[in-house]
């Protein structure tokens, strides 16, 4: 692309508001491809970066990490892709050399980098990423659907760490996009699903209800009573926290003995827990971070079979020029996910 410039949505520092700037189109290294972005989604993580709440973010930074597009240039070592290929990019790049990469746990790579947090992301007309982080989009799959592979892969990876069985009572905290994917994958597994939120989430809780979840506004209803009612007094089998609220202990309180708590949401502050309860009631507490490369591929298979799952989390579409409006509607909790369409 020579020395040309491109429009990008850049945040200069933790306290600065992001805005559009002209910056150089990234130079492609030997093992990288340059992708012209066609579609991107705004994620809850982008909102944390937008608000300067993610300490690990490295500025100045182009925001965004869920995207698909077309390869327009490739480095000299790239042999698996051609210019013109329709692809989706895995935002979590990894080293392929450390213990975790060699044992398949690429999401735990000791030197992983996340687009839109540690290096420039996709809210720009072009992004350069290593070829091993790129996957061809199946024939006929829309760009917006392909862009949703990240959240689907993340939830697939997370819920594979607990045992959801037909009839399990699963309580999912948070009616955001991760919560909504979790609702649908748990329902596919045959679980009874409760989704919780606060009064400010009423618009999103309505969407969860339409998907088949029993919804509880925890500011209006007693969650424990509701869970006991639908579980014949036993409590929930599984508690999944997706919102980032510091509520592990409340999760323990609604679990039956032997139950499992799974943390996906980012709650930056330490949280007190009653460890004795974990012992006496044989509770299990697990965390899940992102997705490894296998889960990423599985995520793409899931949305190829269930494009409605990807579409169910896209509630709004904005043009790239109106990205700021897209962030506002997400920050106001009036959207599940915003898809961003780029000029062609």
Residues that bind Zn ion (CB under 5 A): 43, 45, 94-95, 98, 101, 109
Smallest separation, CB 186 to Zn ion (Å): 20
DSSP 8-state secondary structure symbol assigned to residue 38: E
How does DSSP assign 146-197, residue by residue?
HHTHHHHHHHHHHHTTS---TT-EEEEE--SHHHHHHHHHHHHTT-EEEEEE
The smaller minimum CB distance to Zn ion, of residues 176 and 235, is found at: 176
Query: CB-wise, 93 or 231, nearer to Zn ion?
Result: 93
Q: Is the separation of the CB atoms in 6 and 25 below 8 Å?
A: yes
End-to-end CA distance of the chain: 16
Distance CA 191, CA 49 (A): 34
Report, in Å, the least distance between residue 298 CB and Zn ion: 17
Least distance in angstroms from the C-beta of 291 to Zn ion: 10
Smaller CB separation from Zn ion, 63 or 254: 63
- Shortest Cβ 319–Zn ion spacing (Å): 20
Q: How far is the CB of 242 from Zn ion (least distance, A)?
A: 12
Strand partners, 20: 9
Place of tokens 């030197």: 111
Q: Which is nearer to Zn ion, 67 or 342 (CB)?
A: 67
Helix (H) or strand (E) holding 295: helix 293-305
User: Under a CB-based contact definition with an 8 Å cutoff, are residues 316 and 339 in contact?
Assistant: yes
CB closer to Zn ion, 112 vs 252: 112
- Token couple for 4: 């040309």
Residue 147 or 231 having the CB closest to Zn ion:
147
Coil, strand or helix: which one is 325? Answer: helix
Residue whose entry in the numeric block shows the structure tokens 């007190």:
272
Cβ-based neighbour number of residue 251 at 10 Å: 25
Write down the least CB distance from residue 327 to Zn ion, Å.
14
Q: Which is nearer to Zn ion, 20 or 132 (CB)?
A: 132
Nearest distance, CB of residue 79 and Zn ion, angstroms: 22
């Amino acid at each position: 692309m020579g020395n040309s410039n491109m429009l990008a949505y850049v945040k200069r520092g933790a306290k600065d508001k992001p805005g559009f700037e002209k910056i150089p189109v990234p130079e492609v290294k030997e093992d990288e491809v340059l992708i012209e972005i066609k579609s991107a989604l705004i994620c809850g993580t982008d909102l944390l970066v937008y608000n300067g709440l993610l300490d690990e973010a490295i500025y100045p930074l182009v925001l965004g990490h869920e995207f698909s597009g077309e390869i327009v240039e490739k480095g000299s070592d790239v042999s698996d892709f051609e210019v013109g290929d329709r692809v989706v990019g895995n935002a979590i790049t990894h080293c392929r050399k450390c213990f975790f990469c060699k044992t398949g746990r690429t999401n735990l790579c000791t030197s992983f980098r996340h687009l839109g947090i540690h290096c420039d992301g996709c809210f720009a007309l072009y992004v350069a990423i290593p070829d091993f982080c790129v996957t061809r989009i199946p024939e006929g799959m829309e760009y917006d659907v392909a862009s949703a592979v990240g959240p689907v892969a993340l939830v697939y990876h997370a819920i594979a760490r607990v045992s959801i069985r037909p009839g399990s009572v699963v309580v999912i905290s948070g009616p955001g996009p991760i919560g909504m994917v979790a609702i649908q994958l748990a329902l596919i597994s045959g679980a009874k699903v409760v989704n919780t939120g606060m009064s400010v989430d009423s618009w999103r809780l309505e969407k969860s209800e339409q998907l088949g979840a029993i919804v509880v506004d925890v500011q209006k209803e007693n969650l424990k009573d509701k869970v006991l009612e639908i579980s014949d007094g036993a409590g929930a089998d599984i508690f999944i926290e997706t919102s980032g609220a510091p509520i592990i202990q409340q999760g323990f309180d609604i679990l039956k003995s032997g139950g499992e708590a799974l943390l996906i949401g980012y709650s930056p502050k330490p949280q007190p827990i009653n460890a004795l309860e974990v012992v006496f009631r044989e509770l299990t507490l697990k965390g899940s971070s992102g997705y490894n490369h296998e889960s990423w591929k599985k995520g793409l298979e899931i949305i190829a079979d269930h494009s409605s799952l990807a579409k169910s989390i896209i509630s709004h579409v904005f043009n790239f020029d109106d990205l700021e409006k897209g962030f506002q509607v997400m920050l106001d909790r009036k959207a599940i996910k915003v898809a961003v369409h780029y000029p062609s």
